């Protein structure tokens, strides 16, 4: 049998209790707003760089690729954060740095492959056996250095092997398509689009 409640202990069922989810919901909404604004800015800058690609190349051949790589890296991370509904400026900056490095050296690497290696199958093979592992190693070292302040750890090795497995399910197909069908002048812009998708995958792994 239940005990009677005193007047002070009676519960007012009409009174709404404060929801524990309200602050979190507010933070999530704020994060989404920030990410939408960030993605709009990144997309706008990407389009500006793309449409002025030749003009930027005239100033410096490596300027446009570096800028496009930087912005596509940031956009990939922002898209990933949007689906997670969490805004981390630190991670966006990390992918901007990675995108800049990747953009600069990707163009240099493509030029070396095209100018030095005439045999198409051999060119694709060199790209996959040397280029892919090297770029993945650079990313994983940068990621460890940024997050943990160390150059190489046991976790870096595991992350490197994991990302390398994913990369060989993705990049060989693009490499074949790129070297066989895409003109050299359009290779890097197409590579940026491929890198945008790949950086979304990387941002989930990292």
Residue 206 is predicted with a pLDDT of 66
Sign of CA dihedral 82, 86, 90, 94: negative
- The pair of three-digit structure tokens given for residue 109, joined into one six-digit string: 């690497």
Question: What element of type H or E holds 160?
Answer: helix 154-167
Domain boundaries, the chain: 28-205
Q: For the chain, what's the residue count? A: 206
109 within 8 A of 175, measured Cβ to Cβ: no
Strand, helix or coil at 180?
Answer: helix
72 within 8 A of 195, measured Cβ to Cβ: yes
- What DSSP letter does each residue of 80-144 carry, written as one string? HHHHHT---HHHHHHHHHHHHHHHHHHHHHHHHHHHH---HHHHHHHIIIIIHHHHHHHHHHHHH
Q: Classify burial at 47, counting beta carbons within 10 Å of its beta carbon; exposed 0-12, middle 13-18, buried 19 or more.
A: exposed
36 within 8 A of 82, measured Cβ to Cβ: yes
Residue 74 is predicted with a pLDDT of 95
In the numeric block, the tokens 């290779």 are attached to 187
- The pair of three-digit structure tokens given for residue 148, joined into one six-digit string: 């943990």
In the chain (206 residues long), the average pLDDT of successive 10-residue segments reads: 44 44 65 94 93 89 92 94 92 95 93 93 95 94 87 84 92 92 83 88 78
Angle between helices 132-148 and 89-116 (to 10 degrees): 160
Please measure the distance between the N-terminal and C-terminal CA atoms of the chain and give it in whole angstroms. Answer: 58
- What DSSP letter does each residue of 38-63 carry, written as one string? HHHHHHHHHHHHHHTHHHHHHH-TTH
């Amino acid at each position: 049998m239940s005990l009677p409640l005193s007047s002070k202990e009676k519960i007012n069922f009409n009174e709404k209790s404060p929801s524990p989810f309200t602050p979190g919901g507010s933070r999530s909404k704020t994060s989404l707003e920030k990410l939408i604004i960030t993605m709009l800015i990144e997309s706008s800058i990407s389009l500006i760089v793309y449409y002025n690609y030749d003009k930027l190349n005239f100033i410096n051949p490596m300027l446009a690729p570096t800028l496009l790589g930087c912005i596509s890296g940031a956009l990939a991370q922002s898209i990933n954060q949007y689906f997670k509904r969490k805004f981390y400026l630190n991670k966006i900056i990390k992918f901007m740095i990675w995108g800049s490095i990747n953009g600069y050296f990707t163009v240099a690497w493509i030029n070396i492959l095209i100018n030095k290696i005439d045999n198409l199958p051999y060119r694709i093979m060199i790209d996959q056996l040397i280029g892919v592992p090297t770029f993945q190693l650079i990313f994983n070292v940068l990621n460890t250095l940024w997050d943990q302040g160390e150059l190489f750890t046991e976790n870096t090795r595991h992350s490197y092997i994991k990302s390398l497995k994913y990369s060989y399910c993705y990049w060989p197909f693009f490499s074949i398509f790129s070297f066989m069908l895409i003109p050299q002048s359009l290779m890097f812009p197409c590579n940026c689009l491929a890198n945008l998708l790949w950086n979304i995958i990387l941002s989930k792994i990292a």
